[in-house]
Structure 1
């Protein structure tokens, strides 16, 4: 039996695993405390990490390419990329503006 045989079953089990057990898995797989995000986030990140450990992560060439693309977008300025993601100058869709 190879170490990757049980991966599909582990991934499927994430959907029905209690949240506290997901947080325990997070501690085991990431060696850190789980973030205070919702359950769906924990499931998706755990699924990625399980597969990453079993099958390997991104190739170094892919990581370099992603970093290069990110720098092309924001010139390496993390604050600039966050501002673009925030769209803090515009209200979110569905916002109702009322005149007083």
Structure 2
């Protein structure tokens, strides 16, 4: 044995083909080389492997994604059945997630929001490039809410565009009265 755990001698001892051993050794070397690349080198490797610009991720996440991609190319990725299972489970989780953000409402120019705050009525009009309030145009509702209240408010929440999650109360039909519990 060559003293390296997972080395060629260990692989041969378990009856693995020489080509697979060399391939794994080459992959191991490429993974080691990745760790020594600077930021520019990692971005270049990302472009080579993914054929797109790298996303703004930390060095650690980029290294992990590149390592996975190298291993996936060398040893194969997930099976189609596994990918389908993951996709189905993801859809199921998203559908049952009470904290999932609601789809944003599409606001058309001309729509108005009216909100009463401390005895005064405030009207905001949706325009092509944002929102108009008190003769000024704003890019979003949040600075308008801040102007009105003087505090850090979410604009969509202040104007009632954000729904609160449904309460998790038990429906009355499933609760038993005291008499029903004693009989059942």
Report the TM-score when normalising by structure 2.
Answer: 0.39
The corresponding residue for 2:80 is 60
Distance 1:50 1:76, change over 3 A: farther
Indicate how the Cα distance of structure 1 residues 7 and 64 shifts in structure 2: closer, same or farther if over 3 A, else same: same
| Residues 76 and 23 (structure 1), Cα distance of their counterparts in 2 relative to 1, 3 Å cut | farther
Superposed, 1:80-91 pairs within 5 Å as: 80=100, 83=101
For residue 22 of structure 1, give the secondary structure of its aligned residue in structure 2: helix
Instruction: Spell out, residue by residue over 1:1-30, the C-alpha distance to the aligned partner (whole angstroms, 9 max, x if none).
Output: 565441011111211111111110001000
Deviations 1:25-73 (A, max 9, x none): 0010000011121111110000000011111111001001111111221
Q: Name the structure where helix makes up a greater proportion of residues.
A: 1
| Alpha-carbon RMSD | 2.3
Comparing 20-29 with 7-16, greater Cα deviation is found at 7-16
Structure with max Cα Rg? 2
- Per-residue CA deviation, residues 76-99 of structure 1 (Å, 9 max, x unaligned), is 99x92xx4xxxxxxxxxxxxxxxx
Normalised by the length of structure 1, the TM-score is 0.69
Q: Which residue of structure 2 aligns with residue 97 of structure 1? A: none
Q: Which has the higher contact order (CA 8 A, sep 6+)?
A: 1
Alignment of 1:18-97 (within 5 A): 18-75=38-95, 80=100, 83=101
Q: Which runs of 5+ in 2 are unaligned?
A: 1-18, 102-184
Gapped regions of structure 1 (runs ≥ 5): 84-100
Give runs of ≥4 in structure 1 deviating > 6 Å.
none
